[in-house]
Amino acid sequence: KLSVAATRARTQRLEQRLAELRDKSAHGAILCIDGDNVRGKSNFGFSKEELLEQIWIWARDNDWLGNVILHYDHGEKHTTYMVKGLGVVFAGTVRTADDVI
């Protein structure tokens, strides 16, 4: 388990990276997406990777790269990543994406 301090540090690094990217974009907003809620609406007809790819295409085409965070329930631990200009957050074993958002 990550400590609260380690979780905060990872979140701050992600927020810093997103802020750097946002400064380069025309948007001042961040779009947070609960990936498992989106997938659930399709009866989980597509994978987390497929959703990431579709959101990346949309963000790229609409000048939102650096302004989107895709949240997922679960994961071995609370982790954050930058993937192709998108923030990706796994909530960990205790919280859900709803909790993190």
| Residue 21 CB-half CA count within 13 A | 23
The span from the CA of 79 to the CA of 82, in Å, is 11
Least confident piece of the model among 4-18, 23-37, 87-101: 4-18
User: 10: which 2 tokens?
Assistant: 């990872």
Strands (E), 7-60: 31-34
> What is the pLDDT at residue 47?
93
Least confident piece of the model among 15-24, 44-53, 64-73: 15-24
Domain count, the chain: 1
The span from the CA of 90 to the CA of 74, in Å, is 6
Q: Which domain holds residue 15?
A: 4-100
> What is the pLDDT at residue 16?
78
pTM across the whole model: 0.71
User: 45: which 2 tokens?
Assistant: 């007809």
